[in-house]
Amino acid sequence: GQQVMQIPQYQHVQEGEDFTTYCNSSTTLSNIQWYKQRPGGHPVFLIQLVKSGEVKKQKRLTFQFGEAKKNSSLHITATQTTDVGTYFCAVKNSGYALNFGKGTSLLVTP
């Protein structure tokens, strides 16, 4: 199925700093989803991007889908301790499965 690479694997920031995670594919994607998993929790859907070059915002979170639909990014402005967790991108394979990247774990220090 579709494979996606996420970078970085870990990120440690001071509260108030910005954070960005990237998701890259070698093939063109039909769409991409982002999920957040808090420590000890389960993945929670954040957003789905479908259109080339799409940019969506949710408060301090900005999601982008690349023009070629092969990459995506999640940017958090002015991180807060509540942003701690692992952020996953996920893409559909040729069938029904949604394949998840390995995630970027974000640690925010007060």
Partner 1 sequence: DTGVSQDPRHKITKRGQNVTFRCDPISEHNRLYWYRQTLGQGPEFLTYFQNEAQLEKSRLLSDRFSAERPKGSFSTLEIQRTEQGDSAMYLCASSLGNTGELFFGEGSRLTVL
> Residues 16, 45, 52, 78: which binds partner 1 (CB under 8 A)?
45
Q: Per CB under 8 A, which region of 11-19, 64-72, 76-84, 90-98 contacts partner 1?
A: 90-98
> Residues 25, 64, 74, 101: which binds partner 1 (CB under 8 A)?
101
Q: Dmax of the chain from CA atoms?
A: 43
88 counts as binding partner 1 under rule CB under 8 A: yes
Helices (H), the chain: none
User: How many residues appear in the chain?
Assistant: 110
* Amino acid letter, residue 84: V
Cα distances (Å, whole numbers) of residue 25 to 16, 28, 78, 88: 30, 7, 28, 14
> Residues 13, 20, 24, 31: which binds partner 1 (CB under 8 A)?
31
The contact set with partner 1 (CB under 8 A) reads 1, 31, 33, 35, 41-45, 48, 88, 90, 93, 95-103
